[in-house]
């Protein structure tokens, strides 16, 4: 298991090094930045420090403030906001339902990380973002956590399906679906998390562990490839179905969050928790 | 979703920059150019400005006129007109029916963009052109919009089939068919818009989103490839059938537009709307 | 549709440019050369002009004559005559039947271009040539025209089959068959001219027309490949059968043309028309 | 069979050469180091000597002590300890059960090498390590030894499955599974240790042994690839099932070792033997 | 059809050029050399002239004699004799039967070229040679000629099978079989000489003959590949069976030629004709 | 058939050249060295001469003795002895049975070459060696000789299977099995020695022998690949079964040779012949 990325302690130390010659306002909380930047590399952290200084300068701050640091972190993680981006009212509405779908499913499912922020302001190359951050530095991911990730990843498309109808779904899920496909394939091919026959088997052989000599021809048969495809398809279908069950059981909350997004464009963790506090997980979405 | 191309506001700003040192006639409307050039890159826009100056010079205009700008835009988007191009009467007639087919199907179907212009003057590498421009800067494309694009794209070949008979269809659809094939395949493979099992699944995995390590062998099975082929074939067959239904129900309008094309060679948006104003969508062409 | 090659007017203009400094005999008809050189590129035309001068010099002409120009055109289009080439009597007879087969089938079928010339003098890398030239600058080719091209292309091999018997057919069809195979495959794969399911579908996707992102894995399934193979096979089988029907119904004319070829080695358009003027298309060779 | 690596005598000699100019403390036992470093190359041994000197310096030892040498050996074999690595309590518990699973299965199965050390301190890129060292320089590995290696390799994942439940297994087995897959594939493809038809056959042909000329196309059929996949799957399934039988029959010992690991983080060979001394192999895990 | 190699007249002219400065003995017959060197390139002919001079010098001839020229021709065509090559009596006997098998089958079958020479003296890389030369410059090869080539090519292996028994056949056919396989595959894949469905179809598409654009993916389906394999297998099986029929019906002549080969090592065209003059083609070997 | 390697006479001549300036002891027999070095290239022979001088120097011989030459030959053919190599008693016993298995099967089967030497001293990269040398310079290898080579090649693994039991076979056959697989595949793919349909067919086409033009796509179908796999599997299974029959019928001799190997480590041709003189071929191992 690759645990080579810096952990929370490492990240705090690295951030301190990079901010050492920068005029940091009093009270800026590098530790909480370290906490929420799990998964960042050393280079990412250096980048955040530099962007903070640039943003502070642009804002005519003499010292780098907490909000400069936060903006810098989000720029590095997702790309800059594009507030000027013209979006039609129709596209905005689609985006609001789509992001609300991700957030609602992620909020309701028991093994998903909590929602950190939802926004319908385009950032970098995306129309909107729903952001999940794990509460602590996690080393292992379990099968049920993967399944909740899959379901929340499909939450946007499924919200469109329910609101617009199945024939009106859009290209708005254009990057969610490849992510879900990649995750599902990873579970089956690399994590031995397929069902029955494929369980505990992986298809990415560690050649260096072979005794005596390497396998010359690594390629599995077309029938095995089909078995893998079937597992992936079944994971995606199950995830879509769980997302559908969650949203249908909580239509009121989908509307509430959508409305808030159209009103405020960005909704943070606290407010999401509050708005969706009555949402319930339907039995149908439980893993048996 | 890639929304990296300049949007309408961006395009207007970019055009203004490129025209700043060019003698633009009073009243030339860069904003409407910005509106209709959705999908153009910054380089395309610079190109339009330069071509405008060249065309004005060729026309001995001391200032760049609205028509110079329009001609420049069309040259950049489709290629120069080839008025001198010798076409036999038979080929002209085939072209007129073919383009009228595209225009009629696009005009009638509810989720297609409106027709912008139809011409049987060869341009660049094509025998004729029917041009559709979306009314506003669209970020998302929906499944039904894709289906109407497919049907209007096949409208030319289907018009030939109906008028000439199935054994006399020509190579005139030589670029329409690869476009339709590409669009249908994109829907199935990248947009999760296949039917049943393939819905919400994509086959272009985002490897960067995988947890922990990359899938070594990305290739799906031959049976899955067949399922994709079947979906593509079914989308094409449905689109051809819808185009056929639309044209057969509106033969009078096909003839009217064909005649006008043979008479005037180019017909613009307004005139198309007027000529086809009585055309009706038959029930058979509706998506159920 | 690629209409990028120069058309008749273009060709005449290009020829005039290339002959401008060459001593052209009075009355040499560049316009008719332009007419019959459809499909030639600008470079081919320049080549013809240069070869004309060389051939005139070799023939000690002080001016370039019509026959010098004609010889130059044929050299460029097919390669130089090899009159000295030793061929056995048997091989000559096979060649005469073979070329007569091409000519007869092409002459009889209604949608074939007319025969321009037939020869059993080896040229470049071929044992004999039957040459078809379209009567005007054609932009579109129809399905029935393709089918007649296929049938006349197999006419040589089928004439051998009928005269020598199926077990004595020779390598004389060594370049006809790959041409026919290429044409049939093009119809199915690129022109959407397959039957039933494959009709209107092409298998050479225009990737630039795809919305948003490219298909990663373009390859269709083996079952689809088989469907394409079957269509190709059926086009070839139909074409062979039509060629067989035409020749069997006109055996007298095959013998007449063969005899004339053995006598004169080269027979031109006029004479072919006259010799075969009584040949009839049998019902069996009609397309339904 | 590749027996090219240095054997025990060679290793002792090589170590002596590399330590000759280094201040080795009296009583440091290079011979036992030679014994446990089976499988190391000459370069690995040189590396150990250098690391010993560095570690001694870091520890302010004027001579290289036995513990410096041992630490150096483990650094080279698995990577440095990362004691500072933050792990959540949950992850630590998962790791402890996981490593205890490897150790218990390896300890109980009759043809496995003995456990050398178990630790839940992260080292290099792994969350914990269970280390097996063969008692003597072995040249041949037998089929039953391979099968016990497979079972102990899956012991970690199976312990998670039993303790956490099948839906909560984690990515903690992320490198065990590719190792097991590689080993099983090697048995089938290179060692002729498949069952029935595949027994004594290998699929990595020694081309240099062929008489007269090389096989041009080495690739076996897809059906044979499937037969190989089936054998691999059956080896993995059998191994998982034996690991499950061993652990279920010895749940008490799993808990004992897990507790000791959480308490002491590292447990050595002697202590493992003592803690697990009552563990019994259940009949079900025997090879019939 | 490629007829680019020099024909007989060309070859005679080329030979004369290369011998022009060489002391050729009176009466040396370059024309007959031209006749039997069909298939040689210009470079081969230059090579023959040079080798003739070298051989003459080695033989201390002041002029190049007919026998020097003949030896030079054979060196260039097959490689130098290796008279010193040690062969066991057993291997000599196998070779004699093997070459006699080739010669007998080729002599008896009606559409084979006549035997030019048979030898059991190793030459270049072969154990013995049977040499067939066509009587005249042939441009076309017919299907029945191909079939007789296949049968005579297998005549060596089949003679071994009959004399030694099927389990004692040797590697002596090591180059005959790839030649036969290549020939049979060429008939099916490139010459349209397969049976039924594959007749008149070729699988090596002439891409330059395609209309408008190239096929992107040229590869036929696996089922078509199987159909080709079946045709090839059936051609080889038929040829082996015809060779068997010829030899079994003429065992006496096989022995006679074998004995003569063991006695004289080389037997020329005249003598072969005489020794085998009573051999008869059995009905079973006829093509129906 | 490639007979390009030097034959016995050639080898003797080459050896004499390389030894000409070396102080060869009287009576050293280069001719017998030439006899047993069949298959060596000129470079191998030069190598033997140089190694002889080096070994003589190391042994402080003033002249190169017969034993120096023999040691040099074996070094070049298999690699140097590694007497110092530590092997456990268990591994030694496995090796002794393994090599005795090879020797016994090769000794008993009628078409195998005679045993030249058996040793359990590791040499180069192998644990032990059994060496077969053909009695004379053989040009052809027959099908039955190939089959006996296969059986003796599997004799080591089968001896392990019988003595240790099928589940205790080791990696000791790690290079025997790829050799056997290569040999069997060569018989089927290159020698036309498959059964029924594949007999006389080869799958390594000699492209240079094709008439007129090359096959574009050489690859046979997957079904043909399966047919080849089946033939290979059947040859290996038959060979294993014959080896098993031979050993089971001669258990006493296996033990005798094994004991002698453990006692003396190396046993030569004479002694093997004597020890195994009573061994009999069981009927079951005969080829029918």
Q: Write down the pTM of the prediction.
A: 0.86
Residues 6+ apart with CB under 8 A from C277: none
Cβ–Cβ gap B171/E213 under 8 Å = no
Residues 6+ apart with CB under 8 A from D185: A205, A210, A215, D228, D232
Res A259 pLDDT > 90: yes
Q: Which residues of chain D have a CB within 8 Å of the CB of F177?
A: 190-192, 200-202
Average pLDDT over residues D234-244: 96
Q: DSSP 3-state assignment of E173?
A: helix
pLDDT at F85: 64
pLDDT at E251: 98
Q: Are C102 and C152 in contact (CB under 8 A)?
A: yes
Res F131 pLDDT > 80: yes
Average pLDDT over residues F208-224: 54
Of the listed C12, C99, C161, C231, which one is catalytic?
C99
Res F216 pLDDT > 60: no
Res C67 pLDDT > 60: yes
Range with the largest mean pLDDT of A40-54, F122-136, F193-207: A40-54
Give how far C174 is from chain F: nearest CA, Å: 9
Average pLDDT over residues C184-193: 90
Give how far D47 is from chain F: nearest CA, Å: 23
Q: Are E236 and F200 in contact (CB under 8 A)?
A: yes
E contact chains, 3+ CB pairs < 8 A:
B, C, D, F
Chains A & D: contacts with CB separation below 8 Å: 153
Cβ–Cβ gap A200/D190 under 8 Å = no
State the average pLDDT for chain E: 86
Of the listed E74, E99, E161, E231, which one is catalytic?
E99
Within 13 Å and on the Cβ side, how many CA atoms surround D19? Answer: 27
Lowest pLDDT segment from C219-233, E56-70, E73-87, F13-27:
E73-87
Give how far A167 is from chain C: nearest CA, Å: 18
**Cβ of residue C178 closer than 8 Å to a chain F Cβ:** no
Lowest pLDDT segment from C210-214, C253-257, D268-272:
C210-214
pLDDT at D4: 56
Q: Which residues of chain E have a CB within 8 Å of the CB of D212?
A: 171, 174
C-alpha pair distances (Å), B7 with each of B12, B37, B39, E191:
9, 9, 8, 58
Q: Are chains E and C in touch, 3+ Cβ pairs below 8 Å?
A: yes
Residues of chain C with CATH 1.10.8.60: 8-78
Percent of residues, chain A, with pLDDT higher than 90: 48
Which positions 224-243 of F are in contact with E (Cβ < 8 Å)?
A: 224
Q: DSSP 3-state assignment of D268?
A: strand
* Residue C262 pLDDT grade (very low, low, confident, very high; cuts 50, 70, 90): very high
pLDDT at B236: 96
**Cβ of residue E174 closer than 8 Å to a chain D Cβ:** yes
Res D197 pLDDT > 90: no
C-alpha pair distances (Å), F14 with each of A142, A280, C83, E102, F49:
70, 91, 56, 36, 10
For E243-259, write each residue's pLDDT tens digit: 999 999 999 999 999 99
Helix (H) or strand (E) holding F187: helix F176-189
Cβ–Cβ gap A3/D85 under 8 Å = yes
Res D213 pLDDT > 90: no
**Cβ of residue C83 closer than 8 Å to a chain B Cβ:** no
Tell which residue, C122, C134, C46, has the closest CA to residue C79.
C122
pLDDT at C81: 72
Tell which residue, E175, E186, E197, has the closest CA to residue E232.
E186
Whole-complex ipTM: 0.83
For C125-177, write each residue's pLDDT tens digit: 677 889 998 877 778 899 999 999 999 999 999 999 999 999 999 998 888 99
pLDDT at B220: 83
Topology of domain D89-285, CATH = Methane Monooxygenase Hydroxylase; Chain G, domain 1 (1.20.58)
Average pLDDT over residues D247-265: 97
* Residue F39 pLDDT grade (very low, low, confident, very high; cuts 50, 70, 90): confident
Beta partners for residue A132, in sequence order: A115
Average pLDDT over residues A123-145: 83
Cβ–Cβ gap D287/F167 under 8 Å = yes
Question: Best mutation site among D85, D113, D147, D181 for testing chain A: the one with the most A CBs within 10 Å?
Answer: D181
Topology of domain B8-78, CATH = Helicase, Ruva Protein; domain 3 (1.10.8)
For A211-257, write each residue's pLDDT tens digit: 333 333 346 889 999 999 999 999 999 999 999 999 999 999 999 99
How is residue F8 written in tokens?
């016995």
Q: DSSP 3-state assignment of A205?
A: coil
Res D235 pLDDT > 90: yes
For E262-284, write each residue's pLDDT tens digit: 999 999 999 999 999 999 999 99
pLDDT at D86: 67
Range with the largest mean pLDDT of B133-137, C88-92, D4-8: C88-92
Res F74 pLDDT > 90: no
Residues shown for chain D: 288
Cβ–Cβ gap E232/F8 under 8 Å = no
C-alpha pair distances (Å), F168 with each of A182, F31, F101, F104:
42, 45, 16, 21
List, as one string, the DSSP characters of C187-231: HHHTS--SSGGGTT--SS--GGGSSSS--S--PPPHHHHHHHHHH
Q: Is the dihedral of CA D117, D123, D125, D127 positive or negative?
A: positive
For A2-55, write each residue's pLDDT tens digit: 345 677 788 888 888 888 888 888 888 888 888 878 777 888 888 888 889 888
* Residue C205 pLDDT grade (very low, low, confident, very high; cuts 50, 70, 90): low
pLDDT at E288: 64
pLDDT at C123: 72
Cβ–Cβ gap D3/F125 under 8 Å = yes
For F75-128, write each residue's pLDDT tens digit: 887 777 766 666 788 999 999 999 999 999 999 999 999 999 999 988 766 778
How is residue C232 written in tokens?
């190709």
* Residue whose tokens read 């520890």: D59
pLDDT at F51: 87
Q: Are chains B and C in touch, 3+ Cβ pairs below 8 Å?
A: yes
Give how far D171 is from chain B: nearest CA, Å: 9
Res E87 pLDDT > 90: no
* Residue whose tokens read 């669009």: B183
Res C187 pLDDT > 50: yes
Res C245 pLDDT > 70: yes
Q: Are E28 and E65 in contact (CB under 8 A)?
A: yes
Q: Are A114 and A131 in contact (CB under 8 A)?
A: no
Q: Tens of pLDDT along chain B (288 residues)?
A: 234 567 778 888 888 888 988 888 888 888 888 887 877 788 888 888 888 988 899 889 999 998 898 888 888 877 777 666 667 889 999 999 999 999 999 999 999 999 999 999 887 667 788 989 887 777 889 999 999 999 999 999 999 999 999 999 999 888 899 889 989 988 998 899 988 778 888 886 554 433 333 333 346 889 999 999 999 999 999 999 999 999 999 999 999 999 999 999 999 999 999 999 999 999 999 886
pLDDT at D259: 97
- Neighbouring C-beta atoms of residue E4, cutoff 10 Å: 9
Angle at E201 between CA E198 and CA E207, to 5 degrees: 145
B276, B277, B278, B282 alpha-carbon torsion, rounded to 10°: 70
pLDDT at F3: 44
Res A180 pLDDT > 80: yes
Residues of chain D with CATH 1.20.58.760: 89-285
C-alpha pair distances (Å), E276 with each of C122, E106, E135, E265, E271:
39, 11, 19, 17, 8
Res F235 pLDDT > 50: yes
pLDDT at E3: 44
């Amino acid at each position: 298991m690759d645990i080579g990325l810096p952990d929370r302690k490492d990240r705090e130390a690295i951030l301190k090094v990079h901010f050492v010659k920068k005029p940091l306002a009093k009270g800026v909380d590098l530790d909480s930045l370290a906490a929420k930047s799990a998964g960042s590399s050393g280079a990412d952290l250096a980048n955040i420090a530099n962007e903070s200084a640039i943003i502070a300068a642009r804002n005519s701050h003499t010292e780098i403030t907490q909000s400069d640091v936060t903006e810098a972190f989000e720029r590095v993680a997702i790309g800059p906001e594009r507030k000027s981006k013209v979006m039609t009212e129709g596209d905005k509405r689609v985006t609001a339902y789509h992001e609300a779908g991700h957030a609602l499913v992620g909020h309701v499912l028991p093994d998903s990380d909590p929602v950190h922020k939802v926004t319908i302001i385009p950032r970098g190359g995306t129309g909107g973002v729903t952001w999940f951050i794990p509460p602590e530095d996690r080393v292992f991911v379990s099968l049920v956590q993967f399944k909740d990730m899959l379901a929340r990843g499909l939450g946007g498309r499924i919200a469109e399906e329910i609101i617009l109808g199945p024939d009106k779904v859009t290209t708005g899920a254009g990057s969610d679906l490849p992510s879900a496909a990649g995750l599902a394939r990873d579970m089956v091919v690399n994590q031995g998390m397929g069902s029955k026959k494929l369980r505990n088997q992986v298809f990415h052989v560690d050649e260096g562990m072979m005794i005596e000599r390497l396998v010359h021809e690594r390629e599995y048969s077309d029938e095995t490839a089909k078995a893998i495809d079937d597992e992936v398809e079944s994971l995606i279908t199950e995830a879509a179905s769980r997302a559908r069950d969650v949203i249908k059981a909580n239509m009121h909350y989908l509307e509430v969050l959508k409305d808030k997004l159209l009103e405020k464009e960005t909704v943070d963790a606290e407010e999401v928790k509050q708005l969706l506090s009555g949402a319930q997980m339907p039995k149908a979405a439980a893993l048996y």
